[in-house]
């Protein structure tokens, strides 16, 4: 069984055994010390979707995320 893959949208994912999870969301949850609120996004500060270092990730609201990508 494949443990890691890249999603169609370019994000790294890993297999939990019961499905695929986005690596950047898991790293952000560990950084926060808890779950990400429903509807919130994880933003890659440097724009590199595969750079999942905690220092490159920030959790933002959808409207804040749209502003960051304008």
**pTM for the whole thing?**
0.89
- Taking the C-alpha atoms of residue 4 and residue 11, their distance in angstroms, rounded to an integer, is 11
pLDDT of residue 47: 96
What kind and span of H or E run contains 18? none
How do residues 19-41 score in pLDDT, each as one tens digit?
Answer: 999 999 999 999 999 999 999 99
């Amino acid at each position: 069984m494949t443990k890691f893959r890249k999603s169609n949208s370019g994000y790294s994912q890993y297999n939990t055994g019961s499905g695929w999870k986005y690596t950047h969301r898991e790293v952000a949850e560990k950084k926060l010390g808890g779950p990400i609120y429903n509807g919130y996004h994880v933003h890659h500060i440097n724009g590199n979707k595969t750079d999942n270092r905690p220092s490159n990730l920030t959790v933002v609201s959808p409207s804040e995320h749209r502003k960051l990508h304008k």
